Structure 1
Amino acid sequence: MSEKSLQGVDIGATALEAAVDKILSSPVFAKSPRQQDLLRYLVTETINGNAARLKGYSIAVEVFGRSADFDPAEDAIVRVEMGRLRSKLREYYQTDGAGDDIVLDVPKGHYAVTSWSRASNVAESIQALSAHPRIREAESKPSLAVLPLINLSPDVCPDYFVDGITDTLIFELSRLSGLIVISRQSSFTYRSTQLPSAAIGEALGVRYLIEGSVQCCDGRVRTTIKLVEASSGIHLWSERFERGKDNLFELQDALALSIAKALQVKLVGSEAALFGNEETNNIEAYDELLHGLECHWKYSPSAVAEARAHFQHAADLDPTYAAAHAWLARALLFQWVMRWDADPALRDQAFEHARLAVSLNRKSPYVLAIMGWAHLWCKHREEAIATCREAVALDPNNFEALLFLSMSLSSAGFGEEALYYIEKARRLNPHSSPFYEFVLGQAYYVLEDYDKAIAAFQRGTELNQTFPPNYVYLSTTYALLGMDELAAKYRKLYYAIMGGDKTRMIVPPWTHAKLEADYRHLLQLAGFDPRYCEVSGTSAP
């Protein structure tokens, strides 16, 4: 058998799935549920283009139900079960599968599945199937993207109000364990798009799209929602909803529940109780929050300052509004970390607002994610990781909670686990962002995979030429590798972004003593003055 990539020979996803089904139903595998689950998982992840994230940690957590603190040095389950799987595959192809055309293998030292056809005598990594239109069909959960709802009455209803309804739909649907929901960041790239549904579905890797419109008239909000099969563009379900503006929260619950029902998603555990528990009854406070979000997503110093003012006003209008305090905490932290406002009191103010938000609503995954984020910048290593884990457990579809958890882990020196979560976030946000690339780059940096770290930071600069962290980390990583000219290039670009002010150094997130010491040394090597990013931690509560 000649080992080469099958560029011209396509086994095909259908034939491959049939081969897997035959293996798993054979007498060799019939009484081995662990090996059945393991093989199905490895094949699915490889087909879906996720071979790079197949690590012992991810397999232990997702296949064998190990907890998030799994340590392969203490628990050999993955190594043991992989050995058993390879033995069973050999046994199968010596008995029931002796005449099979398609042969699957998991080479020792690897987790990605390879396949070859006896008829063509050619080997193929089934990663080649990742570009196949059926890439996501192996997922058992319905996957969807909520596209921005169309504002049919912009003269009466501001766009941020309609965007808020879209945001709420994404948020409420993402908390349902029976769904995979694409993040706002990727969904909103298709605002006013003319692309066909098939192209959008393929780009986002989803089966379904939610489309619709909002019209405001005489104090009423009318919303039409459509469930679309992405591949065909067929409208599978549509419904019109109308409520008074004072009953907006009831309208949003009705939209989410109707979509879940149309998709035949069963609410498990306490999920039914998630609806009807709005954090505020104050429509004016809610409107201020939405206005703040419109500003926040622009990610500029002036826009974030304006967002902060709106979030503060929302919290003033309703002091018990947990989301207002959480978003205010985020805006304050963003200004402080980016050095748009160097007031040292900002971090402490942000922490207090985050803590107040948690006291008001600990069941909100977003509130918990922001609390974990605040812990990170206060150098509360264990609290940051634990709180972000809690947020992800409540909402595995929460893209930002996964980002915050990954960064908390890499900042503490847990590179492999950080990489696991940041790559998991990619499924929910196919369209990358400079912040995503930064967090990915940091995970690779901690793992000492500097080429991949540089590639991620570089992609971040290409996505946004004014996002400072990627420039600093490019400069320091090049300095680490002795590439002084490139280190100097990105240092100068960073200073240009900061208006030439060499005292405005972004705050580093490290909670691991050696990583922090190494980073300070690299700042010096790269030509920065590390004194300007000195930040002391605070005692954990």
Structure 2
Amino acid sequence: MEKRLAAVLAADVAGYSALMDQDRDGTLKALKIFREDHLIPALAVHEGQLIKSMGDGWIVEFRSASAATEFAIAVQLADRPKEIQIRIGIHTGEVVSEGEDIFGDGINIAARLEALAEPGQILLSDTAHNSLDRNAAASFSGGQQTELKNITRPVGVWQWPVGSATTSASVKSEKPGIAVLPFDNMSGDPEQEFFADGITEDIITELSRFRWLMVVARNSSFTFKGKSTDIREVGQALGVRYVLEGSVRRAGQRLRITGQLIDAENGSHLWADRFDGTLDDVFDLQDQVTQEVVTAIEPSVRHAETVRARAKPTENLDAYELYLQAQSHFHLLTDEDNREAIRLTRLALERDPDYPSAAGLLAWLHIQRMVQGLKPIDEGPKAAVAAAERVLLSDRADGIALAYAAHSISMLAQDLPRARAVFKQALSENPNAAIVHMLAGINLNFLDRPEEALEHATHSINLSPKDPMRHAAYVGQASSFFQLGRYAEAVQANRNALAIRAKFVITHLMLIASLAQNGDLESARAAVAELKELRPDLDIKEQTRLPIFSVPECSEQWREGWLNAGLPI
């Protein structure tokens, strides 16, 4: 058995079966002419080794991605019989030879790309594209991260010919696509060109950390540099639903950066903002703008996608859209909405069993039932931990999915050190995801590290001040303040949380104890009455046993606060 790295090309004749049905003899004659006049001579010129022939299809190995792409373009441009339309996929990867057989990722991905290609088109993987020189790479457009069947990781897909609408459509992922166009330098200062390009590149890099987004690679976005183009045309050419554009303007030592997020399908504006700074430290300003832009537009896209998904009937939704619909019900906190979210998440997992974000959300939905004092569904906590373990086994899990899983392990399995290790991985994967910081802070509270927990909770709010989940970050703040004995601040954090989600039971319990420990017994007793009115069926004794109230260093303070407020525990 021999292993080696190779550039592999897979090609076939589009619509071959239909051609054979219509005119068998004519098709075979045309195919023979193509092989003898074009395929075989081109293989000799570009030193390709034909390793498998399947009548209407071929697998070819090349020494380099450059040779493979040059061969592919020559074949597509050849003056061949009109019946013979070729689809081609190219990937650089490991292949394994065993006797006369050959297999491996190099062949599998090339074959998947070939199956996606339109007639007359070449699809190139990101791995192969990265091996090309600048001129050769410019012959391809795209770079969208695309899920390929039975391939564990998303693959960036590049297309030839550049910019064709059919090309973009052929590799559209179920994920929402976004392109970041080069920020315009409005200063008339050539030195600011580098700054504008740097901001664009950093935004592309940071957005790519959100794996639920399909982000167009830099090389494709920069083909529009300096051009005045219609955003709808950009969206069609790059196969994306959203486009971010912006500008940089200098006046003396001051810089103004503007940005706007546009729905490429209808031209509507989803978000816009501006940022002012000085040239004293350009790199700090670049980092600041990048973070603020990324953390503002990610929830804007998520909201737009949720609205889009809710407008479609369930039977027409794919796994990603079902996950979005489930999230929208998750935020509403009622028994009915929680059950609907669980149903939708299970449907998503039926359609895509290895969907870590959906598995992670399913685990969190069971936790939501627990903290809201709702009766468990099926195996409840056991099902949640099992869903979390699915996430940890997936190669597709991003920082957010890992945070969902870690939260379940922390809350339900009570394996706090293991959860902390997963949170570290999640934060490394995506340091700009507000929800990751929020959940990581809760885990640190369990570990009795309230100062660190407070930093994460506060950073979560600062990252995404309009996030629908920010009430949980305020709850994290309140828990930290309570553990630190800063009861007045705990009261305010709880009130901030309730202003966003008035039905979140755990916040009411925390507010009651915080008010009592702060010496405001009248308000604490009023808060008890509000909780009883909100949830007269609530098993208060059971709710006060939740893990967040069981940290040994402050469990007695919680209990004392409730008793002083007259809460029957």
TM-score (norm 2): 0.46
Higher strand share: 2
TM-score (norm 1): 0.48
- Structure with greater Cα Rg: 2
